[in-house]
Structure 1
Amino acid sequence: MNSTPEANINSISRPKPSAPRSLQNLTILSFNVRKSWETTSIVLDKCAGYVDIIMFQEPGWKGVRRQPSTKNKEGDMACGPPLHNSWRPFTEAFDNRDEDRAARRVLTYINRRLDVFKPQLRSDIIKHRDASLVTLHFPQPRRGIPHEFNILNVYNDGETHAVVHELRRISETLPRISLCAGDFNIQDRTWDEGAVNQIRPSSPYMRLQELFTDLEIQYVHPVNRGTPTRIPDDANSRASVIDLVVASAALINQEGFHYKIKVDDRERWGSDHRPLQIEVPISGSEPEMRYMRRFRQNDR
């Protein structure tokens, strides 16, 4: 298993178990939480009952426990994200604190009810602080949904655009991406009517479009099209659309696939971004039956 080990010291309060949800559809959240440990923890707790996958950008990350050290008698401080009994964080194992090592800027959590799909962190394919690839294995997918459903979580630094360059560099070695979401930090009129078109060949927008072409994915408009995804603290600054959802044509054409930008400011929990809630139709009948049987057995 590629998720981090769990530790009681890093756990937060647990809600009572709820009845199992249907696995015929997945609810996915993509959300930049502004590096806040508290916001990350709250979202994990509040969303455990109805969200299946959370794709965090700029997640909370800090020293969480001591681990044995040959140099420090008090032990080295291990760094990691918040843990919760309902979720598996798909990231590499805790790192020793290293002032020269940059913190990861993406983190995908998979709800434990999706264990039947054998989620896998694809660090064998990509290791980058700004991108995370997770594969779900669907034994009986609906027509048009692949057996290996690849989800790409992206944070694009608006100054260096490092992840766009890296993903383009390795694009030929990447598997087929079904869904990509994240904070792209690129403004353009394609998704933001208040922005300026960036049609010059070397612009960040054009490089991003070239990446989408390389990966055979395309931008998807939300159902509440035109809604800003980033709300600056400065009331005089313009709200913008920089958080995007991109998907394969096969997924876009699925009846029931859509997403919305959540506009209730209470659900931002202090972030300057709004969450994106994505609905993905899958088959899931056989895994759902196995899950429900196990759930009933545990209740006896």
Structure 2
Amino acid sequence: MSAQTAGGAAAGTARTGPKIIVTAVLVVVAAYFLVPIYWVIVAASKSSEELFTTNGFWFGQHFRLFSNLADVFSYDGHIFIRWFANSVLYAGVGAVLATYFAAAAGYAMAKYDFRGRNAVYAAVLGGVLVPGTATALPLFLLFSQIGLANTYLAVLLPSLVSPFGLFLCRIYAASTVDTALMESARIDGAGELRIFHVIALRSLTPALVTVFLFQLVSIWNNYFLPLIMLSDAKLFPITLGLNNWRSQVDRLPEFYQLTTGGVLVSVIPLAIAMIVLQRFWRGGLTEGAVKG
């Protein structure tokens, strides 16, 4: 074997080592996230008895997934469908409006110079440091005084504010929205709102997708705020409804399979949103990557 061949083999081995390590780490991380989902699928396919008498990571003797899901959707006058629709309303409308408001505010702070801009931005950043649980009780007292407690708006209105989304949109707008292009649009007679909707929003697409997904997951998984605000079961989101079922398993064991089946259904919308929207991230990351 020549010295050149030996050197090439050594270089190939040196490059292969880090790849194996990175691949192994990614496999472990993927397993960390996928194993709980696999367990939920397996658990949702069993009866209440099989949940405790069979291997937790393998299916039981009878595959009951579809019958369990039918029980989930039909129980108590189809109340689960109502909870699911409520979560879609809270998370869908809340995430869309929160993303739009964050984009508008972040764009304005990045591209317009006005008095008090830095003070407003500092106040918004301070909101990132305040946990949602700390503001839930004051919000409940406020909403009770104005008659909004135990309504859809009690959960929806607090979801419209995203300090993190504003922060991200401001940083992204400052680096991607071309000021010269904005000036050209003004010279052509375009108004500020049209510039924002036509030019800025297109440039902010990757940031908007990120904010939307963060808000969607946050609102969909929110438990404490609905717990404080709502007392009518018909207004419950899916998280509060499933916890209501789980609290009854000691008295009625059949709620085990209802809860596991409901958990499986609750994961599906988030998985679909992630799969559908990830292409916008790839598109944003490759912008400007064309060789000159």
Structures share fold, TM-score greater than 0.5: no
Structure with more contact order per residue of length (Cα contacts < 8 Å, sep ≥ 6) = 2
Taking structure 1 as the reference length, what is the TM-score of the superposition? 0.25
Structure showing the higher strand proportion among its residues: 1
Bigger-Rg structure (1/2): 2
Taking structure 2 as the reference length, what is the TM-score of the superposition? 0.26
